[in-house]
Amino acid sequence: MGKRGGTKHLKRYAAPKLYDIPRKEKKFLTRPLPGKKNSMPISLVLRKFYKTNKEIKKILNSRTVKVDGKIVTEPKYPVALMDVVSIGDKHYRILINKYGKYTIEECKEPSIKVCRVENKTRSKKNKIILTLHDGRNVEYDANIFDSLVISIPEKKVIEKINLKPNSQCLITGGKWIGYKGVIKNVDEKTKTVTITTDGIEITTHKRYVFPISKAISEVA
């Protein structure tokens, strides 16, 4: 009889390239629970502050760790781009650098989060439902690849950021991953976006462009 289901294990050499980890020191790595695209386990974030799994489990069981305002006690809880991780009174945001790795930056605005629209559908009651990059669904009207500024933990939409000229953005994939800049032009025919960053103009596909809010200083 053949094997059923996927593996519960994750080897370090097979981990996503987004993980900023040593690949050859140990063999295995905690696999995150499903639910978020390109996610990593909260235990991997806490490894930046604690040395052992025993310390990580202790801080999680103390119920002082939150992700987007929600108390987390599961070491495999998934964390992804733009998530706000709170450890006691300190807050951090998950970003991406120019090497294509997740980074943990101190967060000055822990009450807001930017989410990009990945899909758009209609419910049975003919209401517009948006699927965001972190897996959540909201009832709001926006175009695919636009972004929404959401309050946490209330999960209310505060602002819509359109993918249009003069909007600030973060590039999340491709050759220019991790670069931040201002959108100069959006070509709907070729699905490309021209961005001004570091004094140069670059062009990348729409799916790699993440419009961001000026209110979030760590990505401005």
Rounded-to-integer distance, Cα 115 and Cα 59, Å: 28
Mean pLDDT, residues 50-71: 93
Residues in CB range of 17: below 8 A, 6 or more apart = 100, 101
Q: Which domain holds residue 25?
A: 10-106
Q: Do 147 and 91 belong to one domain?
A: no
Across the strands, what pairs with 203? 194
Specify whether 147 is located in the same domain as 172.
Answer: no
Is 121 part of a structural domain of the chain?
yes
Question: Is 19 found in the same domain as 101?
Answer: yes
Residue 7 banded pLDDT, cuts 50, 70, 90 = confident
In this predicted structure, the answer to whether residue 220 has a pLDDT above a threshold of 50 is: no
Q: What are phi and psi of 168, to 5 degrees?
A: -75, 150
Same domain, 124 and 91: no
- pTM for this one? 0.88
Look at residues 113, 103, 130, 32 and name the one whose alpha carbon lies nearest to residue 68: 113
Q: 147 and 176, same structural domain? A: no
Residue 198's pLDDT is what? 83
3-state SS, residue 79: strand
Residue owning tokens 């462009």: 209
d(CA 172, CA 97): 9
Calculate what percentage of the chain has a pLDDT beyond 70.
95
Phi, psi of 127 (to 5 degrees): -100, 145
199 band by pLDDT with thresholds 50, 70 and 90 = confident
Domain count, the chain: 3
Residue 218 lies in a domain: no
In a domain, 177, yes or no: yes
Same structural domain, 157 and 208? no
Last residue of a domain, one of 91, 106, 121: 106
72-104 pLDDT, tens digit per residue, is 999 999 999 999 999 999 999 999 999 999 999
Q: Within a domain: residue 4?
A: no
- Decide which of 218 and 71 is more confident: 71
